[in-house]
Structures are given as structure tokens and as C-alpha cells.
Amino acid sequence: MITFITNPHSGCWHRHCSCDGREVEGRRAFPADWEGGGFERPPRLHPPCPGRGPPTRTLLRRLACRRSSSAATRRPAARGDMAGGHRLLLENAQQVVMVCARGERFLARDALHSLAVLEGASLVVGTDGFIKAIGRADAIQTLFSEETFEERIDCSGKCILPGLVDAHTHPVWAGERVHEFAMKLAGATYMEIHQAGGGINFTVEHTRQASEEELFCSLQQRLQCMMRAGTTLVECKSGYGLNLETELKMLRVIERARRQGPIGISATYCGAHSVPKGKTATEAADEIINNHLPKLKELGSRGEIHVDNIDVFCEKGVFDLNSTRRILQSGKDLGLQINFHGDELHPMKAAEITSSWYSSDNQAQTFHLERHQAQLGAELGAQAISHLEEVSDEGIAAMATARSSAVLLPTTAYMLRLKQPRARKMLDEGVIVALGSDFNPNAYCLSMPMVMHLACVNMRMSMPEALAAATINAAYALGKSHTHGSLEVGKQGDLIIINSSRWEHLIYQFGGHHELIEYVIAKGKVIYKK
């Protein structure tokens, strides 16, 4: 049986409805025979909740089960695939939250109104680490009755979800800044902290001084914390070097973690995180284009490092529109995905870390920059743009058209007391919304369940929207939704098991994920057990 989890922002179609826009649950829409074709007659549509749009029957058909569909319980392509046994069998789960069921690369608009959830289901991961079958527990038991498994886990009364994807982090650095948090709580502004020797320059100085081994050990510890909170794929940025030597040191640390660690890593070169002391943005951009990027290409061709994405902090007083365009285009020419910071700070307040460097002559250019960052990303074919607290309506429309993902960071707005990104506007306009923790010394959060909770409470996302944003859409933002972000046949066996009969508890229990998460599994191997 599939359970649809219905988005309260679009109306309710189920039999038992709480129409206050907070607690809504869907019930049977399809027959229990997961392999069969056709539909069970859906329950009569409930009238829309006050102020909500009408539900659509097309969303009820989104998970149509066809015998050829990977959404159904499927036999592997060839019987010989099973001859050598399998890596993992997860049996009798109360819920298996597939998120997607028909190979979607992202979810937006009506597709977010419901997630694919199997009741009373089992799942098989092969020795290659990819999902071989998923479906009704009795069907899986029959199909695989004579097969062997390296490990079996009884999931009775528990929920299985995709491994969480953190689409934006800065996890490689030295020099903690807990003292700055105390200063901010006491009323200090970012510029006051910066002028006292703190801020990004503090982190850059300590990161330059740290050894590669020190940075690797601290990164390992942080990744372990993320993993225990359910993250199985994480984007990792450089950006606290601002010179070629330290940026390469950070990328080597990320590469070592990618090769040796249990969770997946998408590596991002972020040498344009800030303008180095003594240089202009134009000079810094020239240095990156003429020296940094060619070196990345050389090391990549030798197999020493692997970089997936390129990032620039496009903000007034940091990298202007022209410098950002030049750097991103140069990275794209090398085959890097564009995934950059944009529209974070309010144009009328002046950016805190650069206000003393900015003059009134720049105000027109500043307004233009903040109005058109998202359009720039769409123009360049950006895979993702992060932050977007100050994105314009035109930028939202451009991102929706270009299918550029919006990576929203509710922890940043919360900790820095910024205006929240307009998540509801983006979702309603069809933007592909993803979530990230923005883990860094200025916003210390390693938990995607807490990020999802904040997204629901502070950005008014529904729980299905938040889960999709932390799984399939976050994977899309990293260009990996063909292998990650949902539980479907043929995808990588990255998942978590929680000790609850309903998946929503992972979001509902703020800070309770350490008690809820019993297993974290990557490529079908248990990498964390409570």
C-alpha cells in the first residue's frame, strides 16, 4: 500500500482531514498489489481547505504502477544477478519512504504535494551497493526466499528513509569562533567583530597555519557527526585559504575524506569566498582564472583531486557581478558545475563585513547586483544558487525557468538573525528548493533533521517539502539525483532507519534525531548503528 503525505498548502483529498494547515495525512490511493496495473478508485476529494488551491487528480496518478516501472517490486534484470547473494535485506518496515517512485530527478510544484511511501515493505541492496528490489514485504520474501544476504535487519515498527543530503557546507577550517557568538549575543555587529580581528579573516589565518593532517582530523570528526545525524552525501567547500597553496591543501583534505570516508562527498572549489587582503575583486578574479583554475585542471587530470563544483560569494563589496560571471564561466569551461552564493545580504543595510570599504558611488551598481544575481545564475546555467535571502521576484522566475536549484539555509538566517528566504514564494513559482546546513564556524550546525525542522517552522515549508528538499532536491543541486536522494531500484543504497512508526518524527522531534536514528547505511553497508 502507498500512503500519500499530502501538502496542506494545496488542499486535502483524504478521508480524515485536519484542515488547519498543520496536520494532514493521506490514505489509500492504490491497491496493495504493488506489481499490479491500474488503480483503486481514490477516495472522494475533500473540499479544499480555506484559502488553499484545489487538489488535482493528476497528482493521484503520479505514482502509477506499471509492470515495467522501477517504482514497483521488481526482479533484477537477470536471475544471474542474484546468484552470488546480496549485501542487505531490510525486512518488514512500517514505512519505506521512497520519496520518488518514477525516476524523477527533482520534485517541484504539484509533485511535492505527496511523497511515495510504502507501508509494510522490505528492501534489498545488492553486493554492488545499489537497490535491487523494494516493495511489499510478502512479495520480497517470496521473490528472495532462496537468496543469501550478508546482513538482514528486522525493521518491524520502524521507518526507512533515504540518506539525507546536505547541499551546502564549509567543513574544512581551523580556529573556532565560539567567542564571536558570545560577542554577537552581546550586540556586536559583524563589522565590529571583523575590525577586532575576527570573522572570515580569523578563520583564514588559522586555516593557513594548520597542517593538512590537522585539517583532515577535524574534517573527519565533523563528517562523523553529520553521518550520525543521517547525512550520507555532503557538499564540502574550500574557501578559507584565499591563496592557491591553502586552497589546494583544503581540496586535498576533502579528496582524502572522499576516498577514505564512508559517506559521499561533492567537492566544491570556493577560492572566491572573499577578496584577499591587499587585492581588489578584479585582481582576485584574475588570480583565480589565470592561476587557480589551471592548477585544478592539472591536478584533476593527474587524478590527484576531484572537484565537482565552483562557487563564488557574489555580494556587494566582495565579488561583483562582472567578476562573478568571469570566474563562474571559467569554471564551467573546465567542466565544473556552477553552485554559488547569491543574494544573501540586504541592499539597504550595507554588507556588514565590507561597509567600511564601500562608497555611495557604488549604490546603483549594488542594487543592480543584488537584483540580478539569480538571473546571472540562470543565464550561466547554474546547477544551484545558495542563500537567496534577498532574491528578487525576477530572480525567482528566472531560476524556475532555468531549473536552477535554490539551496536554502535556514540555520544561517536563524543564527545571524537575517530575514528568512522566501521559500513559499519559490515553491509556489516552481523553483526546485533544496536545503543545506551551511555548516561553518559562523553557523555551527551538523544536523539535517534540525535544518528540516527550522525550514518548516521559520520558512513555512511542509514536512513533505522539507524532506524532499533534504533528499532528492539536494541531490539534484549537486548533480547526483540520478543515483542519490530517493529509494528506487537502481539507485545507491544510502538510507537511514528510524525507531518510529511514522517518518515525520524525524522532523517533528527537534533535536531528537540521535535517539530516533538507529542505523545509517551507505551502499548497503551499515556505517552507524545506535
Whole-number average pLDDT of the chain = 82
Which of these, 3, 73, 2, lies nearest to 35 by C-alpha position? Answer: 73
pLDDT at 376: 75
pTM: 0.82
CA distance 164 to 180: 30
Over the stretch 339-398, which tens digit does the pLDDT of each residue have?
999 877 633 221 222 222 223 333 333 334 444 566 677 678 899 999 998 888 888 998
Identify the weakest region by mean pLDDT among 9-18, 268-277, 319-328, 454-463: 9-18
Which one is predicted more confidently, 258 or 346?
A: 258
Q: Using 50, 70 and 90 to split pLDDT, how confident is the model at 444?
A: very high
Helix (H, G, I), strand (E, B) or coil at 59: helix
For the stretch 497-519, pLDDT in tens is: 999 999 999 999 999 999 999 99
The confidence score (pLDDT) of residue 46 equals 31
Cα within 13 Å of Cα(480), Cβ side: 25
Are the C-beta atoms of 529 and 466 separated by less than 8 Å?
no
Q: What is the pLDDT of residue 192?
A: 78
Helix (H, G, I), strand (E, B) or coil at 202: helix
Q: How far, CA to CA in Å, does 472 sit from each of 2, 166, 297?
A: 19, 11, 29
* 482 or 59: which leads in pLDDT: 482
Q: Rounded CA gap, 218 and 527, in Å?
A: 19
Residues in contact with 6: Cβ distance below 8 Å, sequence separation at least 6, in sequence order? 12, 13, 14, 24, 25, 26, 55, 113, 114, 464
Q: How far apart are CA 255 and CA 253, in angstroms?
A: 5
Q: Between 520 and 56, name the one with better pLDDT.
A: 520
Strand partners, 386: 341, 407
Question: In this structure, which amino acid lies at residue 95?
Answer: Q
Tens of pLDDT along 138-173?
A: 999 999 999 999 999 999 999 999 999 999 999 999
149: Cβ–Cβ under 8 A, 6 or more apart, which residues?
85, 86, 87, 88, 89, 124
Q: Please state, in angstroms and rounded to a whole number, the distance separating the CA atoms of residues 419 and 215.
A: 33
Q: Is the pLDDT of residue 527 over 80?
A: yes
Q: What is the DSSP string of 342-397?
A: ES-S-TTT--TTTGGG--GGGHHHHHHHHHHHHHHHHHHT-SEEEE-TT--HHHHH
pLDDT at 373: 61
% the chain with pLDDT above 90: 66
Looking at residues 445-453, what average pLDDT do you find?
98
**Average pLDDT for 178-194:** 83
Tell me the HSE value of 301 on the side-chain side, using a 13 A CA sphere: 8
Average pLDDT over residues 121-144: 97
Q: Check if the beta carbon of residue 340 is closer than 8 Å to that of residue 382.
A: yes
In DSSP terms, 266 is beta-bridged to 235
Give buried/exposed letters for 175-198 (b at 16+ CB in 10 A, else e).
bebeebbebbeeebebbebbeeeb
Query: pLDDT value at position 480?
Result: 98
Averaged over 415-444, what is the pLDDT?
94
The residue among 78 and 380 whose pLDDT is bigger is 380
Cell numbers at residue 134, please? 523494494
> Can you give the pLDDT at residue 375?
65
Q: Which helix (H) or strand (E) holds 150?
A: strand 149-154
Kind and range of the H or E element at 154?
strand 149-154
Residue range 82-108: average pLDDT? 92
Q: What does the pLDDT look like over 32-56, one tens digit per residue?
A: 332 222 222 222 223 333 333 333 3
Quick one: cell of 436? 543545506
Please give the grid coordinates belonging to residue 326. 568571469
Which residue did the predictor score with more confidence, 156 or 185?
A: 156
Distance CA 280, CA 261 (A): 38
pLDDT of residue 197: 76
Note the Cα 430 to chain centre separation in Å: 17
φ, ψ dihedrals at 198, nearest 5°? -100, -155
Residue 216 has pLDDT above 80, yes or no: yes
**Set of cell numbers at residue 138:** 510478502
